[in-house]
Amino acid sequence: MHARLVDALRSWLLAALAAGAVASAAEPTLLIDPARPTGGWSFDNGREFPGAVGSLELTERGTLDLHFNFTGGGAYVQAATGLPSKPVESVAFEIKAPAGVEKVTLRLIDETSQCHQLDLRIEGHGEWQRVRFPIDEFFASMRAGAPLDIIQRYEKWGGANDGRWHQPGRTLVVLVGRGEAPSGVVSLRGVTMRPAPPTVEIQSELDLIGPVGDRAGWRLTLGPEYPGAKGSLDPLPSASGKHGLALEADLSGGGRYVGAECDLGVLNAIDSGPIELEVRSEEVHALTVRLVDATGQTHQRRGFNFQANGEWQTLTIDPQVFVNGEHWAGANDGQWHGPLKTVVLMLNAGSSDAKSMRLEVGGAAMRVTAEATVSEQAWNADFAAAEPLQGWSTHGDVQTADARLRLTRSLDQISQPTTAAGPGFEVNAGVWQVGVQWRSALESPDNSYHGAASLEVFDRRGDLIESFPIGIVYGEADWRRAEQHVTLPRAAASARFVASLQKTHGEVQIDELSARRLEVQPARQTIESVRIASAALGNLFYPGDPVEFQVEVRVNAALADDDQRLRWVVKDYRGAEQTEWGETRLEASGAADAYRATVRVPMKRLHTGQFYELHVAAPQGVASPVEEYSGFAVLPKAAAKAFAPEQIPFTIRNWDGRIGDYVRLADRLGLRVIGLWGGWSSKPPHEPHLNSVELCEELGAKWATGTPAASIERSGFEEYSPEALRQGMTNFLEAYADRGLAMIWQGNEPHGKGQKVLDNVRAYQAIYESAKAFDPAIEVVGTSVEPNREYFEAGYYRYLDSYDFHIYEHYENVRRTIREYRALMEEFDAIKPIHSSELGLNSQGIARSVVASELIKKCTVFFAEGGATVSWFTILYPDPKGQARGRFGDAHCVFDCKHSNYNARLDAVAYYNMINGLLDKRFVAERSHDSAVQAFLFKQGDDCLQVLWSDDRPVDHLLAVPTGVKVTAVRLDGRRSLVDAVDGRRLVTVSKEPVLLLYRGDQADLD
């Protein structure tokens, strides 16, 4: 689709809007009913936190007054009302709050009973002001990583608990917290809900003729299946008085035809009508036309006749007249399946008595119908049917009961697959909404032990094109819905749902599987993707480097002249703009489907150490601009690089330890011991292998590796015998031990009991004894397992130098786990160091500020509780197709991986500061203050680090720091500032987001 076609789209949509053809959003609904007590709203004083006093009053002026008083305690008061049962676009209201109050808290309960709590920024002047919260826009922007400026904080719980809005809304709550004011009144008036606009169909006439070029809608074809033809396709000369095409053909040297082909697939219209052509020629009296319909079926008809008199004439090409004519491919049924995807105007031997001929096309118009919002639901699984599993393919214990699909697996069946693949159903290219309603009762130490649902998509040959993850469910989870919007490729013809159990045992129940096609634009977006990259690894620039980004805009069609520009702005991690909006020209890249621009960020607007995001917006005619973002920071070389690897108590593991960029990015953060994938073959001579060891040597890093003992944990001695473990371990060490080995991780998250435990311990014994026979100084770390009495009773502690565990829960569980381990060590007289090769957080749907805060808190309490080395999981996983952002695997990564253009997230900068702030310091003291501030002190010589946070509320905390010492505060996003004394007191604001304090001083405690 070329620029003129984009302009046409703009014109007909604007014309339709002006004519009222597109229904506007429904009128707002007033949510204060003067005929009902308190306007139909209810009051609550936050009874779970006793002490708050208040009331709700509807005044004669129609104003709701929410009275509050926290002098006796409590946490909040609220006013709540139900929402009409219809999709909601936005809520708006006027509010008057006490002077000094600069936020209002809303709770919105969606259809799944998920509670979304948001702090909206307001002016603190104490007068009436208008507030509008665009619900759909907010959740779309949150998924895109560009939160609205009005939002200060967001959290969610209950229901789907996925951080997405599920229509329709159920409840609106306005909440006042005790932190806003000790007492007062918040008044509301004009509270309205605007419903989402209805679904409409839009029809218009499109001009299909545009300038011919690399990205034009028209191209020349010489009938390559019949060689010999010559021809050309050019714009009509201006003297013709028409804007059109001139098609010339020369069949004197052979060939069957010459054609002008226009690909209309980019329109993604839902239907199309006849094409009206203006044609003239001195030689041509007949056309052959090919049309390709929505199924990919080609229809061909000869004999569209007109007079060869050199005069302009109108020729109508109606797809319906092709029915039951010559056809092939696609549905191949001779019937027309709109809309039109491709048209080819062909000149052949029947077009003229001459071998050389010229046809001028002075206009080509077609009427199309496009869909503006959501289509009807396309497919539902029916588990209440007489034969509910008819057409399903299953493995393992898969049954239906009570109109539900049940996937069940016991612990002793853990190695057996448990899957259910549904029957195929017809799909087309475009955006689809797919979802599953389910609950689980699974054994899930972390979210990699889960039930999974995906959509598999096939082409018309039945070949698998792609598998789209829908969601995962883990642990004990009540009914919830997982939903995804997926874009099916043009070749998509059918799809099926697949459910499975991964690594875990227990049961998953499913009572709904559904798919429906979405049409969220009147036509397919012009822009396919926007990709941001830089020359800096992970977008972590060094001081003095120019902060430049290369932005590539990939397109499905040429951009209109007005759209060949890129707007950009730099924001901080809370979404506040740090620069003015800039604009730069998009230039054609030389490729047929891409434009490029360079964005240069002025260094004077940036602070070294601070995390930022570059946000860009690329316009595309009448459609919404395509927005993208990329995180970055200017960071000095990691201070940890000046230390020996064994001095830095951090390690790292990754989804895939073979990826070079993973190793480089780990090194850039200051990680000095890097997890690689090593091992050996199960068959003699047990050849060893170890990826990226050369890269570690180049970077001056050491490495750790797992062993094939993990294979025994998964499937017993089926592949590796005890002798294979012993000889292979020896071979491996002979090849690699002198190339930077730091430690050996024996296994990874074993399962099972009884004989399974004993077999695992035999494997650990073989690994340990072989390693110690080779070199007694090699550190062998035990398998990563929870504090497990059965393993201690089996004597596994005899075959390790230190313990290992993984935690993905709240940071307090790190303390609990170490203490439970310590109790077992003392009981079995097996006191040894303890590591964690994976600390992490089940991060999907959680703000990166929460992830970054938890990273610092978990690492801090791990060392405070006596831990030896720790690894935060994880760095990256390649996403070349750009589809993984926000999914559970991607959410674990501290680098955003979209399109494999790795760029730092907020937690990458927090990780960098934790590593390079702690360095070789050791834990000295901790203290919990009455103000709810938790403080931890680490020290090496006179170099000190304090880590502070408050899980309760922000507190101005009096520092325990020697007088006269220079103190640097490092905030969550890496912002640095000096903490100066005021009136002889040194205060720092402490909140849920940890702050690191760096200074030099002779300090032994926190008193």
Q: Does residue 15 lie in a domain region?
A: no
User: For residue 953, what are the domain limits?
Assistant: 922-1000
Closest to 866 in 3D by CA, of 915, 814, 826: 814
Q: Are residues 787 and 851 in the same domain?
A: yes
- A 10 A CB-CB count for 683 gives 11
- pLDDT higher than 70, residue 605: yes
- Cβ proximity of 123 and 150 under 8 Å: no
- Cβ proximity of 481 and 472 under 8 Å: no
To which H or E segment does residue 922 belong? strand 922-928
- pLDDT higher than 50, residue 17: no
Exposed e or buried b per residue across 934-948, where buried means at least 16 C-beta atoms within 10 angstroms of its C-beta? bbbbbbeeeebbbbb
- pLDDT higher than 80, residue 193: yes
Per-residue pLDDT averaged across 764-786, rounded? Answer: 98
Task: With cut-offs at 50, 70 and 90, classify the pLDDT of residue 154.
Answer: confident
951 versus 69: which is more confidently predicted? 69
- Cβ proximity of 281 and 360 under 8 Å: yes
951 versus 703: which is more confidently predicted? 703
Q: Does residue 376 lie in a domain region?
A: no
- pLDDT higher than 70, residue 149: no
pLDDT of residue 369: 77
Interval 898-948: pLDDT, tens: 999 999 999 999 999 999 999 999 999 999 988 789 999 999 999 999 999
Q: Which of 344, 371, 398 is the last residue of a domain?
A: 371
Task: With cut-offs at 50, 70 and 90, classify the pLDDT of residue 6.
Answer: very low
Q: In percent, how much of the chain has pLDDT > 70?
A: 91
Q: Are residues 164 and 129 in the same domain?
A: yes
Interval 66-96: pLDDT, tens: 999 999 999 999 999 999 998 898 999 999 9
Q: Does residue 5 lie in a domain region?
A: no
Q: Are residues 239 and 352 in the same domain?
A: yes
- pLDDT higher than 60, residue 214: no
Could you tell me the CATH number of the domain that includes residue 730? 3.20.20.80
Q: Are residues 935 and 913 in the same domain?
A: no
Closest to 632 in 3D by CA, of 607, 617, 605, 614: 614
Q: Are residues 705 and 853 in the same domain?
A: yes
Q: Among 214-218, 534-538, 764-768, whose mean pLDDT is lowest? A: 214-218
Q: Are residues 807 and 664 in the same domain?
A: yes
Instruction: Round to whole Å and give the CA distance between 853 and 861.
Output: 12
- pLDDT higher than 90, residue 983: no
- Cβ proximity of 526 and 537 under 8 Å: no
- Cβ proximity of 828 and 796 under 8 Å: no
- CA-CA-CA-CA torsion sign (445, 447, 452, 456): negative
pLDDT of residue 198: 54
Q: Are residues 131 and 146 in the same domain?
A: yes
Q: Does residue 377 lie in a domain region?
A: no
Per-residue pLDDT averaged across 805-834, rounded? Answer: 96
734 versus 377: which is more confidently predicted? 734
Task: With cut-offs at 50, 70 and 90, classify the pLDDT of residue 7.
Answer: very low
Interval 702-727: pLDDT, tens: 999 999 999 999 999 999 999 999 99
Q: Are residues 482 and 612 in the same domain?
A: no
- pLDDT higher than 60, residue 18: no
Q: Are residues 550 and 401 in the same domain?
A: no
- pLDDT higher than 60, residue 4: no
pLDDT of residue 534: 98
Q: Which two tokens stand for residue 204?
A: 């218009």
Could you tell me the CATH number of the domain that includes residue 387? 2.60.120.260
- pLDDT higher than 50, residue 65: yes
**Which residues face 315 on adjacent strands?**
277
Exposed e or buried b per residue across 525-546, where buried means at least 16 C-beta atoms within 10 angstroms of its C-beta? bbbbbbbbbbebbbbbbeeeee
- Cβ proximity of 595 and 587 under 8 Å: yes
pLDDT of residue 22: 31
Could you tell me the CATH number of the domain that includes residue 120? 2.60.120.430
Instruction: Round to whole Å and give the CA distance between 207 and 275.
Output: 10
pLDDT of residue 784: 97
Residues in the chain, how many? 1007
> How does DSSP classify residue 710?
H
Instruction: Round to whole Å and give the CA distance between 895 and 848.
Output: 11
Q: Among 140-144, 283-287, 466-470, 754-758, whose mean pLDDT is lowest? A: 140-144
Q: Which of 593, 611, 634 is the last residue of a domain?
A: 634
Q: Are residues 776 and 725 in the same domain?
A: yes
Q: Does residue 8 lie in a domain region?
A: no
Q: Which of 142, 168, 196 is the last residue of a domain?
A: 196
- pLDDT higher than 50, residue 56: yes
Instruction: Round to whole Å and give the CA distance between 420 and 422.
Output: 6
Q: CA triplet 199, 205, 206: central angle to 5 degrees?
A: 105
Instruction: Round to whole Å and give the CA distance between 486 and 490.
Output: 13
Q: Does residue 342 lie in a domain region?
A: yes
Q: Does residue 20 lie in a domain region?
A: no
Q: Does residue 909 lie in a domain region?
A: yes
pLDDT of residue 25: 39
384 versus 865: which is more confidently predicted? 865
- pLDDT higher than 50, residue 8: no
Q: Are residues 287 and 154 in the same domain?
A: no
Q: Are residues 389 and 461 in the same domain?
A: yes
Could you tell me the CATH number of the domain that includes residue 978? 2.60.40.1180
Task: With cut-offs at 50, 70 and 90, classify the pLDDT of residue 623.
Answer: low
| Helix, coil or strand: residue 469 | strand
Q: Which residue has the tokens 């709810």?
A: 932
**Which residues face 306 on adjacent strands?**
none
Considering its fold, how many domains does the chain have in total?
Answer: 6
pLDDT of residue 263: 82
Per-residue pLDDT averaged across 390-404, rounded? Answer: 94
- What mean pLDDT, rounded, does the chain reach? 89
